[in-house]
Amino acid sequence: MIEKTEKNRKKIVFVTGNNGKFVEVRAILASRGIEVLQNKEGYPELQEEELEPIAASGASFVAEKLRLPAIVDDSGLFIKALKGFPGPYSRFVEDKLGNQKVLQLMENEEDRAAYFKTVISYCEPGKKPLLFSGLVEGKIAFEERGTGGFGYDPIFEYEGKTFGELGDEIKNTLSHRRRAIDKFLEWFDSQID
């Protein structure tokens, strides 16, 4: 059962230390009357080649620990020429290398195809986690463009503009995270009486 606040709003804990992710998810879910609380404590993160088991394990851990419905988002940038790198290691690579080093890795690559993928895992205490994924195909730009978004947004080009150039309002309507959240909301709406 989803916990309700005094205003009859649903309350879900979103575990992330990434304020950009939190702001994006909170804005999307607030439009549906869902209150999102940020928890930065984290969770034991599996080292896996796929996003799904990482998100599922994290959401299950948090739901049991906090005894509240929880969402964990695991996202990655998958670059075709780099055999899917950085993929599930995207956050680590962003923190340690940054966009300029990724662009250097791509300097001599003609195939610049890439995609962003998000897996949202939702879990209630005592239940199995549910998974919802979203994907946006694009390409790696030749240079950083735009000041919006966060992480790889300035180097990920979608239909001629980087996510960094689109601005949060537009990006939040078409991002990989939005697509995963829309799938979650479709399921969530089916659970409300």
CA distance 182 to 10: 16
For the chain, where are the E strands, in sequence order? 3-4, 10-15, 34-39, 70-79, 86-87, 113-123, 130-140, 156-158, 161-162
Query: Which is catalytic among the residues 74, 153, 182, 193?
Result: 74
Distance CA 77, CA 91 (A): 9
| b/e code 76-102 from CB counts within 10 Å (16+ = b) | bbbbbbbeebbbbebbebbeeeebeeb
User: Is-catalytic flag, 193?
Assistant: no
Positions marked active-site: 74
